[in-house]
Structure 1
């Protein structure tokens, strides 16, 4: 009886196919990445602008101090997120200079985007938490609603559950995007190793 499983022997003896990626492929992937980043960032900046205008307007319009404070904190959170997005994950207009190969440039860009997406809970979601909690608390527990305490607690709990689900969805989408970038980095590393 052999020491090893015959399927394991077959698996270990199979020929490895070499993975290659041409310079044109890498250039195409790099351009596509920068295009996707520009589109994503434009959408995020527009959404941040909408949040700033909407919650800034609510902050000026609503007389309740707690709701007003929450609205302004949400608007400030959107400003912070837009600035952090620009700092961490903006598209790069630069192409590699003569001293930097295209593969190294593209890999560095993939890693930069990956790191930005991997830390989304800290810089993208967390800045909204104080404002959202204060805003929801102000709306749910405003003295002039006339609702009993149980109804106010229910309203706050339902609002909190909805926001938590949205935040969890955003975090999950970014985890998926990080895995996709990891796969692209691994493919690029395989292409670089085979050259």
Structure 2
């Protein structure tokens, strides 16, 4: 009953009052989604950067420890790759909207930030997955000294197939997860932000 009365009041209100109500409702919805997104990005960055920081000295040590030149190259590749991942994440983080901006500027900065994060995920195959898989594969080939083994010997080494299968599975899953994130998380948020910017600019 109360809900029906509220709907009737809303429908009988002047047009500008209904627009104000819709805008306020949208502002709350957008802010909630942006706050949720910000927390998710913080968690992701913390996990990825922490893992990269831990892995870098481990693989630099492998550069020194591994006798095989190919394993050394793979280990160095992974250490550099970890640094690059940190750089990419921090670079996008710098475009995070300022809380001291006016609300309209904050929305526009949020839109730019969302678009950069979206682009980061859409290109994840090229800057994250393939370089990581390449480094791990080179390191695996070198550490098992595969170039000096026959095909018959390589086929019998379970570590080769387990390692390559694991690298590929992780790469495919990561790619799918990020593509899904773009579709389910970024596109709806960008749509809401764009809608609110349009309403704000109409005033």
Asked if these proteins are the same fold (TM beyond 0.5), I'd say yes
Conserved? CA contact 1:56–1:75, under 8 Å: yes
Aligned residue in 1 for 2:85: 81
Report which of the two has the higher share of helix. 2
Cα drift, residue 147 of structure 1 = 10
Taking a change above 3 Å as real, the CA distance of residues 109 and 48 of structure 1, as seen in their structure-2 partners, is same
CA RMSD of aligned residues (A): 3.1
CA offset digits 1:141-176 (Å, max 9, x no partner):
358999952435654333212101101111111001
- 1:110 counterpart = 2:91: no
Aligned partner (choices 24, 30, 36) of residue 26 of structure 1:
30
Aligned residue in 2 for 1:128: 132
- 1:187 counterpart = 2:186: no
Runs of 5+ consecutive residues of structure 2 not aligned to the other structure? 1-21
Conserved? CA contact 1:55–1:72, under 8 Å: yes
Taking a change above 3 Å as real, the CA distance of residues 115 and 34 of structure 1, as seen in their structure-2 partners, is same
Count how many residue pairs are aligned between Structure 1 and Structure 2.
Answer: 178
Which one is further off, 183-192 or 66-75?
183-192
Aligned residue in 2 for 1:65: 69
Conserved? CA contact 1:118–1:175, under 8 Å: yes
Conserved? CA contact 2:81–2:132, under 8 Å: yes
The TM-score normalised by the length of structure 1 is: 0.74
Aligned residue in 2 for 1:141: 145
**Secondary structure at 1:187's aligned position in 2?**
helix
Aligned residue in 1 for 2:4: none
Supply the distance in 2 between the matched residues of 1:57 and 1:66 (Cα, whole angstroms): 15
